[in-house]
Structures are given as structure tokens and as C-alpha cells.
Structure 1
């Protein structure tokens, strides 16, 4: 045993000798720094002397008679008095407390940009300390040689020393020189020596002493673990208590030395202690109770020190331990066991949230990105663990309640912080964002099917209304996210065959959002929301028609229903926009919708004749055909509105130019031609008059008569309205009718058809010529309406 003391004494002598050299070098460095400081103070005093001796800055407002009769004896007095009199230090201005904090959310009649700026100012009446960006490694250590010699070498040296002690003890144990008690005593003695040396050097060598003390604490942890696991010198409870005492001792030293490294070592040892003294019993309640006490001690440290690394390590270790238990929990665990785990998860969530906000609120400091990340991670992991535990407890019906409870908790926290004027606005915005997120997650977790869409549609409107009332941009962004989620959910509902009411409700809420947005956002955003609302209404109706119409009705009939719905939808928009004025649809948007409707209506004309043939020949239902006539009436109403715009030279038609009247006449004549053909088929169809015969007669005889009548009406209106363009269109239509009649229709036509066509056209042309003769003066003076 005496032989072992010789190497130990040698080791201690080597340590003390190295410390002596380090102390000497440190004293030399301090002397150099003091000398440099004295030189800087001396140079600074020399620079300040000329400034104080200038008389110009003392009495700039002296009367003009003063330089005429100066008194040499009292001349220096005016220069000395201002220097001798101490300048009164004004108290720091108290931050202006705005009424925003008293009255809550108010609506101010300003522009949106001014409102958002005022909201940001109102949320931060207290000036927080702005933390400068952390310097880099080479900024903190410009002298790399000094860093290696004073910092890195000491850490490596203590690590090697600990390894040397460990190898020596192992060698002695392998040769049976030391018994179990002696082995433990040597470890404790070495740890005590290291801690004592570090404590002795704490004032002169702050960083070096912390490294030595940390090494001593690490030796203590491993010594006690070896005494329990290998030698069984004391029971588990005693070993656990000793390690807990070591952890508390390390934390106290870290606070006394103000060194985060010691706290980290104590924390790592504290989390390792349960495993170092474990007997594999699987008692998770004891483990989580110990972790709760350890994290509660961390909370006390976090209240006094801004040691983010300590918070991060504790959070990571706790998540790993709790997540490991949750992932490897045996199937034999009961609901009661999972409930206990749920309560421990709540406790951990509260502790880590408080640990991440305590110091900043206490010292009125700004939160940084690491704080926000910790708060978000804490909320997300706790929420995930809660859902898993509820699932394993077979309580899935409570997951929605758990989610809304999370939203309520963060809402209360945001309100409490809002009332506390020391809290900056960013953390309040973060808590409000978490509140909104959990409210939004309640729908997909608790509800099923289209109820999610209904929930998100309502939430989007409420969030933007809160943005309008509170002037906080956060709600504006969350509105966009929730509304986008609602649109995705609505598409899923459409794919699943949801009912018409879901689409109608989504469209109504989207238009409600448009009414809130249109005067407060950019015009493009208003257009997007408006178009989206119209598309929701239209697609919902189309899908409902596809779902309701029986497939046996045929594809042609289904297209008739869809065409009729499209036309009626556009007509309803036109009616609500121009007469009832419920929906303030933009004029350009309405014109585009009507143009598309007319094109779609005329494009599906061929399907109308197929449906009519099936009705007349096969005796199918007349309902699709009636829907077409309703659509035709709506199209006629649109054409009438179009003609009014053309006559009034509406600025909306400026891109069309002179083509607008021609386009109007083309649509009108085409609609009348189709309607006349359908009426002829419906009235004169019989077994003796087939549809092909009726079509041939109508195209060769009826159509020229119809076009001639249209030309006559156009001529009459052009003369009546003094509109030259309309008269030119009438003459063009007359010319087209005559060319068609004499080139194509004169062949293979009955005598009665020829007589009717020629008679009607001849009479119309004579009447037109007579009208030109009687109204010659109007034509010559050319007082027609200016063309578009």
C-alpha cells in the first residue's frame, strides 16, 4: 500500500510544478496589460486638455461690451466654473405607454401600412436590450498560440491526467494491490484533490480552474458508479443519493464560479446517474420522477443564468429518455401506466417552456432564434407524445379535446404575456401562432370528411377578421395558410363525392373573406379571392349535377344540363351584379365570364339537335330540352346587355374597337337562327315530315327569310338611332343572304319555298329602299351615332 503513494505523490508534484509555471506566465501577462492600460489613460488625458482650455465653448453668448474692458484677474474664472460644476444627468426617459395596452385591440381609421406599423410599436413599448451578434472563433481568439497554450492545452492535460489516474487504478486493481474500499477511496481522494486545486485557482485562473473542477466531478461520478456496479459496497438507494448530491454540488459550484461548463458536467452526470446505478427493473415512474426533479433544478438555474446550452442538453436528454420509453414500452403496460406517462409529459412540457422564457422575461431581454426553436420543438414533441399516449390508452375520441386544450393554454399564455409590458412582441406572436395552429389542427384530428372543410372555412374568415381588428400581420399570413388548407380539403371532398352544401358554404365564406380583403389588400389578392369564390360555386354545382343525373339519361343530356347550368350561373352573376347588386363582381371579370358563356353555349349547339332528335324520335324526356330554352333566354338577356354597352360606347369594349357591333349582330343572328331551327323541328315534325326534310327546308327557305327580317330590323334601328355602322351591317347581311339564296339555295328547293323566300326578300328590299328615299336627309348629314 505504501508503494502506491510514491507514484501518486509524483503525479501531484508534476501537477503543482506545471501550475507554478502557468501562474508565473499569467502574472507576466497581467503586468503587460496593466502597463498598456496606463499608457492609454495617459494619452487620453493629453488629448482632453486642449479641449477644456478653449474659451469659445464656455461663454458663446457673452455681450459685445465684455471684450472692451476685460479684467485680467478674473479672466480664468469663467473657464473654470463650467468645468467644476457637475453636469446634471437627466433621468432616462420613461417609455411612453400607449393606450393600446389598456384598450386592447382597437380599430383606427388609417391605411393598412400605418396600422401594421402602429401594431408593432404598440406591442413593444419597453426598450429591450439588443444583443450584438456573437463573434466568431477567430474574433474571440485572435492569438491562436495563446488560445492553444492557455485554453486547449489545459483541457487536454486534465483529460490525460484523468486517464492516467484511471490506468493507474486499473493497474493496481489488476495486480490486487488495492482492495475495493481502497480503490474507491483513491478515486474519491483524486477527485477531491482536483476539486481543491480548482477551487484554489478560481480567482486567478477562471477557465483553467473550471476545467480542473469538472474533471474532479467526473472522477467522482465514475468512482461511485464503480463502487456500486463492480464492488457492491452500498445499495442502489445510497448510490443514487450520493450521485444526486454530486449533481447538486456541481450545480452549486457552477453558480458560484459562474461557469456554464460545470453546470453542463453536473447535468450530464445527473442524467447518467440513473443508468450508472440501474438494476434493470424498468421502473419508469422512479426514472421520470428523478428527471422531473433534475429539470426543476434546471429551471432554477435558467431563472438566474442565461445558459441556453444547458437548456438544450436537458431538453435533448429528456426527449431521448421519454421517447425511448415510449418507443420500447412493453405491451403489458396498462392504461394507468400510460396515464402516468401522460402526466409526466405535461410536467416536462411546463418545465421546459418556463426554462426557456424565465431569464429573458426576468431580465427584459430579447428572445433569439434558439429560444423560438426550443419553444416550438417543445410544443410539437409534447403534442406528438400526447396523441400517441391517447391512442395507446384507446382514447382517440379525446385527441381533438387535447388539441383544443393546447390551443387554450397557449392563448392564455399569450394573454398573460400581453398584459406583462416587459415581454417583447415576438414571443407573443409566436404564442398566438401556436394557438392558431392547434385550433386548425383540431379539425382534421377530431372531425371527419367535409366537417374539416367547414371548420377551416370558418376559421379563415375569423382569422382575417381578427387581423382587421388587431392590425397584426401574423393573422394575415395564417389566414392565407388556413384558407389554402381549406381549398385542398374541399378538393378532397369533391373527389369523395361530398354534398353541395359543403361547396356552397366554402364559397360563401370565401366571398365573406373577399369583402374583408378587397379594401385592405392589393387588388390582385382581391381578384384571386373573388375568382376562387366563383369557381367554388360553379364547380360545386357542376359536380352535383354529375352526381344527381342518372347515367341512363345519356352523355348528350348530361352535357345539356351542364351547359344550361353554366349559362344560368353566368346570368345569375349578371343579375346580382347589375340589378340586385349583392355581389360586386368586377366588371372586367363579369364581361370575361359572359364571353366564355356565349362561346360555350354556341359550341354545344350540335348536342342540342341530337337531344331534340332523341326526344322526338325515341320519346325521351323533354326536361333537358326545356333547360336549353331557359339557357337561351339567359343568353338573350346577356346579348341585350351587350348591345346596351355597345350603344353607350362602354370603355370596357375599347379593346374590341369597331368589331363590337359586328360581334353583337353575329351573336344575335346566330341565336335566332338556332332557335328558329329548333322551333321548326318541334312544331312540324311528324311521321311524314322527317327531321332531315325539315332541316333542308329551313336552311334553304326559312333561314334567308329570317336573315332578311334581321337585316330589315337592323336597318330600321340604324336609321332610327342615326347609327351608320348598324346600317352597314344590315346591308352586309342582306348581301350575304342574297348570295346564299342565289348560289346555294336556288337548287333542290320546292316551288313554295322559292316563292316564299323571293317574295319576302323582295318586299324587304323595297321597303329598305323606300326608307332610304324618305330619310335621305338623315343619311346625307350623317348624324349617326359615333361608332365604337
Structure 2
């Protein structure tokens, strides 16, 4: 069996060497052909101006961008991103091979351990030897196979890290200090190799190993100051290499790992020392984000995103620590960061550069000042920071036109809504909150303010937005108005929560009506779309029906039962102001009547409002107790309600004939039919003889008058048509 394996291994080596020789011959032939073509092409293109086929991102990102420039940048982003996918496509086998080889070595060592072939020291030695061997192989292959050699070297570094971890945690061959020293040494060696080989891939392996090393050798004691001293050293090395080699990926990897470690430390063990490391990390990554700004006087999209994230993650961490330890003032960090951005803004202003950098620094500075004062008034940290950060991302999208910030805004805004909903839940258990000046409402105010700014920014951006995105923008508008509505409504309900339930409901309904009415009143300035405007009108009229039936009847009943004062009925009646203005002014100017159903809804509102208000007044005047209420209610339903409905039906029929709005006429006839059905199938059996005679006489008179009026209008219309036809014939003759 072993002989067959050896023979197979020899055959594989022979085949590989033969294939490798052929590949080298092909490479030499291709190199000769390229050399010949390059000599010919030099003569052909020497008279043409030099052209950069792949412009750098620094060269095309200027100040406020027009749509064509934005498209160019987006195409450039595709050019920058495509090599990543191309690298993965071309080197997927190599990456899979490295992982497979590492696993194979691991399984071999495990098999050897299970069979007691080697001891613990020998096991660690094999691991270190295998890692060093792979690094050596990568070193010899680096000239002809750069990418492949980097992957091989990265695999060797990974083996060294894992071997050190296993030797410390499982075999206890050396102490934690020695293990930490060895991981640091491996990290330094890998960073030096990546710099020496000029390989960004290799330094990515190095950073992953360097940041994961503390987890590998951790014993659970949580020595955070020592840990972040080590991380700071790694970040400083990253910053130096980033400036020397302009490798952006390493900065993002370091930022993500550092933020995770810092937040974990902040949550699990809140310590004032962490503030120092937050500040150090802030400076390091802020300098990293401004690399191109210092060297090229320009800000790239990913640099802007890094600036936003660095500022707001630092605020979340430092303010959380101050709040937990009850230190003050909290706004010291937002203001300090705002001063730094303000200095850069002043620098841009002095040089009269009013482009992208000027807008970004001003936006960040204003956002930080807003966050600082909001947090000082004890607003909720996450909700406030996310709300302002979302607005800042939308502002940057507006100024640059780059889709990456729009995507991040649409990702962050739902998180703002979730955080705000969690804030509202605190109303349930809150006690003795001040009016307006309480943490919950102040947090809601920040969200409302930022949401309103978002609506303004999105409205200004609407002209440049593609039509297919209108759905998301309409949805965003609906959600935004809903957030503002709930923020105000919940604060009102909390402070009247001790009132009777009908008062709470009536107040909520009245606020809802005035809120929708306010939006409709300023619909032109807010640039409310036709669809949203029609939806608001339908909601407004539907709420009127619910308010009149539920709130009005409930308040009337409680007044008669002496549970509440009569003044509440006058407050409830304030709904008539927006209702009358909407019917007389807003509806005629809108597209409300383009939908036939709208006539029926308006008719239902008029019938309900008139009927119920007459009923309420009737009960308040003549009823003094619960027993009289029941009798008067039945009397009103049997005698007065049919008369009211018949008059209203006649009015709608008349209006339909006069204005050619046939839906009014149909609604009038429908109401008249309901009245007649109610009379013959319900009312007659509940009345006494005298009331029955009076109802029939009055109803009969109204029906005759309505019929007469209808016939008269019909004759008038017929006469007008005949005169028009005669006039047309005379003109033709």
C-alpha cells in the first residue's frame, strides 16, 4: 500500500515538472511577442498625447458634482471594485488550496497525536516548521508569481498564529507573556514582509492575525489597557504603511477591529481609561481619512464615509462612558470634535475653496454641535446620534451625488426608527416627566428635527432622482410624517393619561385632524405629491367620521352623566374649523374629485357630521339623566333622523343636477332609499299613532317638494338644450 502511494507521488511530481516546463516555454514565447508588439506600438502612438485609461479617484472627485461627473465616478468605482472580484475569480483555487493545505496539516498533526507518534513539544515544532516552510516557499516564488506567493506566505503566517495559540492554550508550553511576545513578533515579521514584498494582500493577512492574536492567547482576565496599548501600536504601524503605500483596505480593517474591541470594553467594563484610547484611535483614523486631503487636497467618497463613522463612533463610546460614570459635561467630546472639523472648515474658507471638502467639514461640524447640545439635555444616545448621522449622510449624498451615501442613509434610517420606537416604549413606565423638557420627548424632538431636515433635503434632491426611486421616496415621506406624528402624539397622551378615556381619545383624534390639516395647508411648500395628498384627504375625512361618532357621542354622554365639564364639548367642536376650510378651499384645488368614490366619502362625512351634531345638541338640551337619554335617543332616531336625512338627500340631488356632479345625485338617491327603508321596516313599528302620522306627513311633503324641484330643474335643463340646438341651427344656416 505504501509503495503504491510513493509511486503515485513520484508520478505526480514528474507530471507537475513536465507541465511546469511547458508553461515556462509558453511564457517565454508570450514575452517575446509582447516585446515585438510594444516596439511597433511605440512608433504608432508617439505622436498622440498621453492618455490615462484608468484615471485615479483623486483626479475626478471634485466639489459639487453634476450628474455626468457622478456617473464618471460611479464608473470609476466599478473599475476599482472589479479587480477585487477579478482577484477572487483568478485566485480562488489558490485560496482554497491554502485553506485545504492548512487543514490537511492540522489533520495530519491530529492523527499523529492520536497515535502518540509525537509529543507536545514536537507538535508545536512541526507547526512552526510548517509555517516557516510556507513563508520560505512564498519567498522563492515572489518574483514570478507575486499574488500566489503572497497567498502562500499568508497561509504560513496563519499557521504560525494558530501554532502559537495551541501551544499556549492547549499544551501550556510557555506563559501568556511569552505567547503575546511571539504573536507580536509574528505580526511584526508579517508586516515587514508585506512592506518588503509590496504586497497589500499579505498585510491584510498580517492585520487579521495581529488583531485576532489577543483572542488567541486570552485567559479571560481582561487586561484592557495592555490590550489597547498593543492595538494602538498596530494602528500606528498601519497608519505609516497606509501613507507610504496608499493602501486603503488596511485602514478599514483596522478601524472595524478597533471599534469592535472598544465597544466591547465600553459595554462590559465601563472605565474612564477607555476615553483616552477612544481619543487616540480617533486621531489615528481621522488622519488616515484625511490622507488624500493632505496630499492631493481632495476628499474621496470612502474618505468621507470614514470621517463620518470616526466622529460618530467616538461620540457614542465617550458619551456612553460619561453617562455611565455620571461625569459632566457630556458635550465636551462632540464640541471638541466639532472644533477640529471647524478648524478644517476655516482652513477651506480662508483658501476660498467652497467645494466638497468645505461642505463635508461644515456638515460634520454642525451635526456634532447639534448632537452635543441634544445629549447634554439628556437625550438618548443611540437614537440621537443615529438620527443626526442619517441626516448627515443624506446631506453628503445631496452635495456629492454619490450613491454610496444614499445607500448608507437608507440602511441607517430604519435603525433610527427602531431606536426611536424603543425610546417611546419608555413612556409606559415613566413617572413624573416634565412637559417637553424630558429625555424621551427631547430625543423625539431630535428625531423629528432630523426627519424634517431629511424631507427638505430629499425634496431638493427629487429633481435629480431617477423615476424608479420615487416609490422609496414616497415611502420615506410617509414614514417620516408618521414619526413626527407619533412623537408629538405620544407626548400629549402621556401628560393627559390621568384624564377619562374618552378625553384621551378625543384629544388624540383632534390632534390627528389638525396634524393632517397642517400638512394639507402647507402641501405646496412641502411639495406633497398628488397620491400622498389624496391619501391624506381620505384619511382626514375618515377620521372626521370616527371622531363625530365615537368621540362626540362619548363626550356628550359623559357631560350628561356629569363626569366631565361642558367645556370639553366646545374643545371637541374645534374639528369644524379644519373640516370647513378643507371642504371650501382645499378640496376644490386638489385632484380629490377625480375619483368617483370621493363624492360618496364627502357625502358620508356631511351626513354623519350634520346628523350626529344635531343629535348631540338635542341630547344636551333636553336630557338630564341616563333614563331620559335612552328615551330621547329612541325618539330622535325614529322621528328626527329620517327628516334630517331626507333634507340632506334632497340637497345632494339638487347639487348633483346643478353642478353636473352626478355622483352627488346618486348619493342623494341612495340616502333617500335608506331613509325610506328605515321608515317602513323599522320606524313604523316603534312609533305611536300620532308620531307615525306626523312622520308620514312631513316625509310626504318633503318627497313631493323634492319631486317638484327635480321636475322643475329637468324642464329648465331641457329648455336650455333646445335653445342651444336652435341657436346652432341658425348659425349653420
State whether TM-score is above 0.5.
yes
Q: What is aligned with 1:118?
A: 72
CA distance in 1, matches of 2:703, 2:679: 14
Q: For residue 344 of structure 1, report the CA deviation from its aligned partner.
A: 2.5
Pick from 574, 579, 594 the counterpart of residue 537 of structure 2: 594
Query: Which residue does 1:527 correspond to in 2?
Result: 474
- The yes-or-no answer on 1:349 pairing with 2:303 is no
Preserved CA contact (<8 Å) 1:95 1:126: no
Structure 1 residue 510 and structure 2 residue 451: aligned? yes
CA contact (8 A) 2:180 2:217 kept: no
The whole-number CA distance in structure 2 between the counterparts of 1:728 and 1:36 is 92
| 430 and 465 in structure 1: CA distance in 2 versus 1, 3 angstrom threshold | closer
1:100 and 1:39 map into 2 onto residues whose CA distance is 35
Which residue matches 2:430?
Answer: none
- Do residues 695 (structure 1) and 633 (structure 2) align? yes
Kindly tell me: are residues 692 and 347 of structure 1, through their superposed partners in 2, closer, same or farther at Cα, counting changes over 3 Å? same
CA positional deviation for 1:569? 2.4
Tell me what 1:214 maps to.
none
The aligned counterpart of 1:395 is 271
User: Which of 483, 490, 495 is residue 425 of structure 2 equivalent to?
Assistant: 495
Residue 441 (structure 1) aligned with residue 313 (structure 2) = yes
2:64 is matched with: 107
> What is residue 134 of structure 1 aligned with on the other side?
90
Deviation at 1:672, TM superposition (A): 0.6
SS of match in other structure, 1:562? helix
> What RMSD, in angstroms, separates the aligned Cα atoms of the two structures?
5.7
Give the counterpart of 2:288 among 398, 401, 413.
413
In structure 1, the residue matched to 2:373 is none
Q: Displacement, 1:120? A: 3.7
Match of 1:211 in 2: none
| CA drift at 1:346 | 0.5
Per the alignment, residue 615 of structure 1 pairs with 559
Correspondence list, 1:730-749, <5 A: 730=668, 733=671, 737=675, 740-741=678-679, 744-745=682-683, 749=687
The alpha-carbon distance between structure 1 residues 729 and 602, as it changes in their structure 2 partners (threshold 3 A), is closer
- Scaled by the length of structure 1, the TM-score of the pair is 0.60
Contact kept, 8 Å, 1:292 with 1:348, in 2: the verdict is no
Structure-2 separation of matches of 1:593 and 1:568: 12
Instruction: Map 1:202-217 onto structure 2 (within 5 A).
Output: none
Residues 415 and 728 of structure 1: CA distance in aligned 2, closer, same or farther (over 3 Å): closer
How far the C-alpha of 1:545 sits from its partner, in A, is 3.9
Structure 2: stretches of 5+ with no match in the other structure: 1-9, 113-117, 119-124, 324-378, 428-438, 723-733
1:61-110 CA-to-partner distances (Å, cap 9, x unmatched) read xxxxxxxxxxxxxxxxxxxxxx9x97785588253999995896422443
One of 388, 405, 408 as aligned partner of 1:475:
405
Pick from 481, 486, 498: which aligns with 1:539? 486
Residue pair 1:718, 1:725 contacting (<8 A) in 2 also? yes
The DSSP-based 3-state class of the residue aligned with 1:690 is helix
Residue 50 of structure 2, aligned match among 88, 93, 112: 93
Residue 529 to residue 254, structure 1, CA distance change in 2 (3 Å) = closer
2:514 paired with 1:568: yes
- Whole-Å separation in 2 of the counterparts to 1:375 and 1:625: 65
Q: How does 1:668-747 map to 2 (within 5 A)?
A: 668-686=606-624, 690-714=628-652, 716-718=654-656, 720-721=658-659, 726=664, 730=668, 733=671, 737=675, 740-741=678-679, 744-745=682-683
Do 2:611 and 2:644's aligned partners in 1 also have CA atoms closer than 8 Å?
yes
Kindly name which structure, 1 or 2, has the bigger radius of gyration based on alpha carbons. 1
Quote the residue 2:336 is aligned against. Answer: none
**Greater Cα shift, 628-637 or 757-766:** 757-766
| Deviation at residue 486 of structure 1 after TM alignment | 0.8
Structure 1 unaligned residues grouped into runs of 5+: 1-20, 49-82, 142-151, 164-169, 171-217, 223-243, 362-366
Cα distance in 1, alignment partners of residues 173 and 403 from structure 2: 53
Question: Separation in 1 of the partners of 2:583 and 2:605?
Answer: 7
Offset at 1:409? 3.5
Measured after TM superposition, the shift of residue 387 of structure 1 is 4.8
Any conservation in 1 of the 2:448–2:483 contact (CA below 8 Å)? Answer: yes
Q: Deviations over 1:233-292 (max 9, x none)?
A: xxxxxxxxxxx9x9x99999999999877998799889989999x9999684x8767766
How far did 1:679 drift? 0.8
Structure 2 residue matching 1:134: 3-state secondary structure = helix
Distance (Å, rounded) in 2 between the aligned partners of 1:355 and 1:693: 91
Question: Please, what TM-score do these two structures have when normalized by structure 2?
Answer: 0.64
Change (3 A) 1:539 1:291: same
Contact persistence 2:502–2:554 (CA under 8 A): yes
Q: 1:592 to 1:252 in 2, by over 3 A?
A: closer
* 1:780 alignment partner in structure 2: 718
Q: Is the 8 A contact 2:282 2:311 kept in 1?
A: yes
2:380 to 432, 444, 450: 450
Counterpart of 1:550 in structure 2 is 497
Higher helix share: 2
My pick for the range that moved more, 616-625 or 749-758, is 749-758
Q: Deviations over 1:350-390 (max 9, x none)?
A: 3246557855x4xxxxx7xxx84x65443333334445667
Whether the 8 Å contact between 1:299 and 1:355 is mirrored in structure 2 is no
Decide whether aligned partners of structure 1 residues 696 and 267 sit closer, same or farther in structure 2, where only a CA change above 3 A counts.
Answer: closer
Q: Following the alignment from structure 2 to structure 1, what is the Cα–Cα distance between the partners of residues 680 and 521?
A: 44
The equivalent of 1:364 in structure 2 is none
Q: Equivalent residue of 1:496, what SS?
A: helix
CA distance in 1, matches of 2:425, 2:471: 29
What is the CA-CA distance between 1:531 and the residue it aligns to? 0.6
Q: Distance in 2 between matches of 1:535 and 1:517?
A: 16
Tell me the distance in 1 between the aligned counterparts of 2:43 and 2:533.
77
